[in-house]
Amino acid sequence: MPDEEKGSLIQSIAFDALPTQDDELDNKDDSKPITSETLRPSAWQDAYDTIILGIPIFGSMLSWVGMKTTDSALLGHISAQALVASSLSDLFTMCTGVFIQARVLSILCGNAVGAGNPKLAGIYLQVSLWVLMGVVLLIMLIWQTTAWFWTLMGTESMAASMAGYYARVLSLSLPAQLGFSQLSQYFQAQRIMHPEVNAATVAMLLNLIAGLVFVLGVGIPEWEGYGFRACPWVTTCVVYFQLAFLWIIYIHKQQLHQPCWGGWKWSEVTSTRIRTFLDLYVPAALASASDFWRVAVIGTFVAKYLGETAVAVFNTSYRVMWIVLTLISALSSAAGIQTTIRLGKQDALGAKQAGEVGIYMSAVILTLLGGFIVGNIRLLGRLFTADEQFLAELDGAKWPFMTTLVLMNLSIAIERIPYSMGRTREVFWYGFLASWGGQVPGVFFCLKYWRMDLVGLYTGMTLGYAMLTLLYGYMCFTSDWVHFAQVARHRSEIEDDEVVQTRNEMTSDDVQLSLLNPE
Calculate mean pLDDT across residues 1-13: 44
Tell me the per-residue pLDDT of 73-117, one tens digit each, with 9 for 90 and over.
Answer: 888 888 888 888 988 898 899 989 999 989 999 999 999 999 999
pLDDT at 21 over 50: no
- Quickly state the pLDDT bin for 182 (edges 50, 70, 90): very high
- Quickly state the pLDDT bin for 24 (edges 50, 70, 90): very low
User: Could you tell me what percent of the chain has a pLDDT over 70?
Assistant: 88
The predicted pLDDT at position 419 comes to 96
Tell me the per-residue pLDDT of 503-518, one tens digit each, with 9 for 90 and over.
Answer: 444 433 333 333 333 3
pLDDT at 69 over 60: yes
- SS3 at position 158: helix
pLDDT at 35 over 70: no
The DSSP line for 378-395 is HHHHHTT---HHHHHHHH
Calculate mean pLDDT across residues 33-58: 80
The predicted pLDDT at position 454 comes to 92
Q: Name the nearest CA neighbour of 259 among 445, 116, 111.
A: 116
d(CA 98, CA 26): 41
Enter the pTM of the model: 0.85
Q: Helix axis angle, 348-375 relative to 43-78, nearest 10°?
A: 50
Q: Name the nearest CA neighbour of 53 among 247, 194, 223, 205.
A: 194
d(CA 324, CA 435): 20
- Quickly state the pLDDT bin for 306 (edges 50, 70, 90): confident
User: Could you tell me what percent of the chain has a pLDDT over 90?
Assistant: 70
d(CA 104, CA 491): 13
d(CA 349, CA 49): 17
DSSP state of 32: S
- SS3 at position 508: coil
d(CA 328, CA 305): 31
- Quickly state the pLDDT bin for 496 (edges 50, 70, 90): low
The residue with greater pLDDT, 515 or 373, is: 373
Residue 45 to residues 24, 27, 173, Cα–Cα distance (Å): 12, 17, 40
- Quickly state the pLDDT bin for 20 (edges 50, 70, 90): very low
Calculate mean pLDDT across residues 249-278: 95
The residue with greater pLDDT, 169 or 265, is: 169
Q: What is the mean pLDDT of the chain?
A: 87
- SS3 at position 219: coil
Tell me the per-residue pLDDT of 201-243, one tens digit each, with 9 for 90 and over.
Answer: 999 999 999 999 999 999 898 888 999 999 999 999 999 999 9
**Residues in the chain, how many?**
519
Calculate mean pLDDT across residues 27-51: 66
Burial of 165 (0-12, 13-18, 19+ CB in 10 A): middle
The predicted pLDDT at position 314 comes to 86
pLDDT at 37 over 50: no
- Quickly state the pLDDT bin for 414 (edges 50, 70, 90): very high
What value does the CA radius of gyration of the chain take, rounded to a whole number of Å? 24
pLDDT at 407 over 50: yes
- Quickly state the pLDDT bin for 333 (edges 50, 70, 90): very high
Calculate mean pLDDT across residues 141-151: 95
The residue with greater pLDDT, 1 or 457, is: 457
The predicted pLDDT at position 385 comes to 79
pLDDT at 171 over 80: yes
The predicted pLDDT at position 39 comes to 59
